[in-house]
Amino acid sequence: MPRPQKQANPFRYFHSSPEVIRLVVMLYVRFPLSLRNVEDLLFERGIDVCHETVRLWWNRFGPLFAADIRRQRANRMRGFRHWRWHLDEMYVKINGEMHYLWRAVDHEGEVLESYVTKKRDKSAALRFMKKALKRHGKVEMIVTDGLRSYPAAMRELGNLDRCEMGRWLNNRAENAHLPFRRRERAMLRFRQMKSLQKFASVHASLHNHFNSERHLVDRQTYRERRSAALAEWQSLVA
């Protein structure tokens, strides 16, 4: 019987330690900082890293860390009952042309899926919903705004009876856009659909991972959750 192949170490060709690489990726993706802001913050801590190295590391390791987080969380979420999703799309300009970032958020504010398209018609909504349902499983109720593309896509999927539409019912998804908007302004917008899709997916996973709901719990609970999230982050792709 052949032995299972050991997964190659993704850090094997890099001279910096994995701890520094994880710190760089976390600072750049999680907080509204530019490449040069991260470079200056690291230099104050005795770490001399060029801003282009910051760009290389987040492009190389950001998707790896995000995939690891998403895989662990998706397995836990599949067993949830009474799961309620909020779907919404936001405008994002790429080289002066309008694009749409579709996002699925659950009832606790966690971003489940991000998908970029040039249009927001039935076909785009259908592709987005198929992707989200395939990864996260069934859902009890889906809340949307007044965009007609959502019920048209859900009618084709056969779950139109689970759709709930209302202007104010979708505030959960609207508020979930704010962290990404702040990050977008710090990056001075995007230049390609591919880079937008990549960053939106990575940013959503890191935001979910470090979102400890500090406004809902006491200080001690928040500190425990924050420490657990940081310890889990430091063990990613180990």
pLDDT score, position 238 = 66
pLDDT score, position 1 = 45
For 9, the token pair is 């170490």
Of the candidates 176, 83, 94, 167, the one whose C-alpha atom is nearest the C-alpha of residue 132 is 83
Q: What share of the chain is helix, strand, coil (3-state, %, to 5)?
A: 55, 15, 30
Of the candidates 110, 74, 60, the one whose C-alpha atom is nearest the C-alpha of residue 237 is 60
pLDDT score, position 235 = 87
Measured CA to CA in angstroms, residue 23 lies from 141, 151, 187, 233 at distances of 38, 42, 19, 9
Measured on CA atoms in the order 195, 196, 198, 199, is the torsion positive or negative? positive
Torsion of CA 147, 80, 176, 72, to 10 degrees: -120
For 85, the token pair is 């999703």
pLDDT score, position 118 = 93
Contacts of 204 (CB under 8 A, 6+ apart): 66, 103, 111, 113, 114, 180
The answer to whether 135 and 206 are in contact (CB under 8 A) is no
pLDDT score, position 6 = 56
Q: How wide is the angle at C-alpha 49 spanned by C-alphas 44 and 51, nearest 5°?
A: 105
Give helix then strand counts, H and E, for the chain.
Answer: 9, 5
The segments of the chain whose pLDDT lies below 50 read 1
pLDDT score, position 237 = 74
pLDDT score, position 81 = 58
